[in-house]
Structure 1
């Protein structure tokens, strides 16, 4: 995971490389009560966050090491995270 300072320095390049709607794949490297983190291949200073607020009721967060796919929903400028919605969450129809 890139350090906060690296994410800040590379933020403009991250936003340009990962526009809203961009499809991505990543391996879960962090799992917390609020969501999961994944690095983004090809964008070394980027961190994607899939927040639990986007997860349908009754589902579990993906496990550490799980390969997940999703799409960029927005860019969180305050903490330099790329917010994503995982495909498995979209499949529920919610």
Structure 2
């Protein structure tokens, strides 16, 4: 398995379905809400997630929210995190993963 890969198109929602569902996605996942999902793509800038319980929603956990000592989760990993932004231009829910939280 390569270290980095784009999400398999067969797993991803169609772009028109994402566009039509975007208002419902934003409503279902307000900033600060907790969400879970499965890693379906890994890139040097972060991981793409299919989000649990929210049809046609795609999450992105970017490395800008990742502590230096951490690594990107593996393809297929189940993760949880907090919604930190809604990127209207590409219909992505930005997530800060729980595993990236600084120990308190």
TM over 0.5: yes
Q: Structure 2-normalised TM-score?
A: 0.83
3-state DSSP of counterpart to 1:6 = helix
CA distance in 2, matches of 1:92, 1:54: 14
Q: For 1:13-92, what aligned pairs fall within 5 Å after superposition?
A: 13-92=24-103
Q: Which has the larger radius of gyration?
A: 2
RCO higher in structure (CA 8 A, sep ≥6): 1
CA distance in 2, matches of 1:33, 1:9: 29
Q: Once superposed, what is the RMSD of the aligned Cα atoms?
A: 1.2
* Structure 1 stretches of 4+ moved >6 Å: none
Q: Structure 1-normalised TM-score?
A: 0.91
CA distance in 1, matches of 2:45, 2:85: 17
Gaps of 5+ in 2: 1-11
How many residue pairs are counted as aligned between the two chains? 93
CA distance in 1, matches of 2:13, 2:68: 31
Cα deviation, residue 58, structure 1: 2.6
